[in-house]
Amino acid sequence: MASGLSGIGFAWTMLSCIATALIIVAVLSPEWLIGKVVVDNHHMPAYFGAYKRCNYAVYDRTTKKVTLVKECGIYESFAAMPSLYWQLAAVSAFSGAALSLMLVLLLIPSMCLREVVTHGTAPVVGFFQIIAAILLSTAGVLYPFGWDSQEVRDACGDQADKFNPGACQVGKAFKSMCLGAGMLVLCCLLSFCGGKKRKRRWSLAVRQDEVIRGYEQASTKA
């Protein structure tokens, strides 16, 4: 089946798929910030993500002791997230990931169908990829503003502050999201050459008409 993409367009589509996969996995992963919680000399790694956390300390009202819970879960509500910046980062990250996914679902059929993405509409897709990259980059900038929350300091130490993770480490999921955003910028550049230019089908017919007219004029003069 005919495709509306050029050779560069196929590379653009593949790179978009890879970037989107990185972004979605990163947004869903809790490994944005990695620290540890300590209770009664028991150490356990703690993970923070855009909307979930893994391994944390809770107060048991029955035993009246702080215990460690080894499980992953989302926050009980949007307001329960430890920082307003994390709330904004989560919204921005999910919006960017959703937009990138929708664009990929548009690009994949264009590898087989001519009318889905054309030379004229490919830059429009690239423009929205830049929008997705901006949303993801915004999430990457907002997230460190929440590192001064008490929940983060419990896992990263009292020295943790905005853009200072303290004893924690920036996780691979956070880095993957930033990498995916950078790849979307490259995808936008490729989009300008991604669509295949249409050949004018009527050009041959016009030339044939010109030849026929010239032949008729020559015959009339003769």
Q: Where are the domains of the chain?
A: 7-221
**Alpha carbon distance 192, 153 (integer Å):** 46
What lies within 8 Å, CB to CB, of 101 at 6+ separation is 20, 24
Question: Which tens digits make up the pLDDT trace of 111-130?
Answer: 888 888 888 889 999 999 99
Give the pLDDT band (50/70/90) at residue 202: very low
How far from 79 is each of 82, 86, 88, 106, 119, CA to CA, in Å? 8, 10, 11, 34, 45
Q: What is the pLDDT of residues 175-189, one digit of tens each?
A: 999 999 999 999 999
**pTM listed for this prediction:** 0.84
Query: With the CA atoms of 81, 82, 87 and 90 taken in that order, what torsion angle do they form, in degrees rounded to the nearest 10?
Result: -80
What is the CATH architecture assignment of 7-221? Up-down Bundle (1.20)
> Can you count the helices (H) and strands (E) in the chain?
6, 5
Burial environment of residue 70 by CB neighbours within 10 A (0 to 12, 13 to 18, 19 or more) = exposed
Place 199 in a pLDDT band, splitting at 50, 70 and 90. Answer: low
Q: How far apart are CA 32 and CA 142, in angstroms?
A: 13
Task: With a cut of 90, say whether residue 209 has pLDDT above it.
Answer: no
Q: Rounded to whole angstroms, how far apart are CA atoms 9 and 191? A: 7
Query: In which order are the strands placed within the sheet that holds 169-170?
Result: 65-74, 52-60, 42-48, 33-39, 169-170
